[in-house]
Structure 1
């Protein structure tokens, strides 16, 4: 079954002290995400890109309409992964995801895109066609801790991502002992604000305290820092 989400998305880079301040305030007015723990939860993503790194280049060029294809799980002990197609369309982010078994996900990582044809969903067929037409291959794994807050009004979701690390040397998304290196200063946190329509006024007022412009860099681009000589 396909899970589908369409909403606006804004990103900011915060110092650690601002994260603690905002997180403390949000705990009083929003619910913590179901995955949530006091120190957040693990998110691990394996990104695919074309032979010529078209998705990376479109992000670097700042194109309004672009996409990312990734497998995502939630760290140690995961027995499945979500295959996601995330598309930016102007101010909106359209994300569709398909749940895959561990064995099917690893088969895809190893280059067997035909495993997608065993899934009846339209998204699986769409991804099979694109990944074959443009020779998509695994490129990098990104992992981080995430603390998330949600509100059912306007599908609001506010996340803080920290301890961002990754590797371009291994693509085993289920490896419990993956060797990774830091991609972001440990004193910085990425804030993502996602919503439909508009933000509720009390949340908007709180986030107005964020001192900084929107962040244009993506975790995927950060994860290609070695092969692309990328510097954040």
Structure 2
């Protein structure tokens, strides 16, 4: 089980700004080992309770909240990461459990007992929460990510673009997943993640962004059709 506690800042920038800042960061930071070209694919399958508790807490800006998701890196990924993100004031706590592909597929179908096969306490916690609040799959969000890293304070700068979603097909490993855009393709989500404090030379670059920090939730974007357009 992996655990990360860090600060996260998000900005919505244009595609032109993405290329400009990507070029700048390529000169001062290291490219993430998974990144090539315009980045690598990420798929996130989000779970929520029957009353969509996590969605509404995010929309309402509740200070202490969580979300549970399963993450893969394309249809051919031989495993999945079950993750829980918890908002704690300015900090984000993320815990993750690496699962076998067959166990992940069983979890998607509602067989939460597969979590009991793992010895980590985090697996038992997810099992209890998902059963207690009747969690079920609600949407898949996919996008491409280009990431830069600095070893100091575990800094990560990520650019997420071409964000698409699906609220009816939850086969996260499918090569024929039908998804639709949920964000203007000319917009990019920039995330700045770090522990402790942000190094000054990186902060100087971020401060040149002519935009205020804002909350851009890919999960809420993924629920946009069912929550905002269906009655």
Q: Distance in 2 between matches of 1:138 and 1:169?
A: 9
Alpha-carbon deviations, 1:156-197, whole Å to 9, x = none?
000000000010010000001100000110110000000011
Give 1:76 shift. 2.8
Q: Is the 8 A contact 2:3 2:96 kept in 1?
A: yes
Task: Give the equivalent residue in structure 2 for 1:58.
Answer: 57
Q: Is the 8 A contact 2:11 2:216 kept in 1?
A: no
Task: Give the equivalent residue in structure 2 for 1:85.
Answer: 84
Indicate whether 1:131 and 2:125 are aligned: no
Identify unmatched segments of 5+ residues in structure 2: none
Q: Distance in 1 between matches of 2:6 and 2:215?
A: 17
Task: Give the equivalent residue in structure 1 for 2:152.
Answer: 153
Q: Distance in 1 between matches of 2:91 and 2:135?
A: 24
Q: Distance in 1 between matches of 2:8 and 2:20?
A: 21
What is the TM-score when the length of structure 1 is the normalising length? 0.97
Give 1:226 shift. 1.2
Give 1:39 shift. 1.5
Q: Distance in 2 between matches of 1:118 and 1:177?
A: 30
Q: Distance in 2 between matches of 1:224 and 1:57?
A: 11
Indicate whether 1:105 and 2:104 are aligned: yes
Q: Distance in 1 between matches of 2:140 and 2:81?
A: 14
Q: Is the 8 A contact 2:189 2:216 kept in 1?
A: no
Local SS of the residue matching 2:228: coil
Q: How does 1:60-209 map to 2 (within 5 A)?
A: 60-209=59-208
Identify unmatched segments of 5+ residues in structure 1: none
Q: Distance in 2 between matches of 1:7 and 1:62?
A: 19
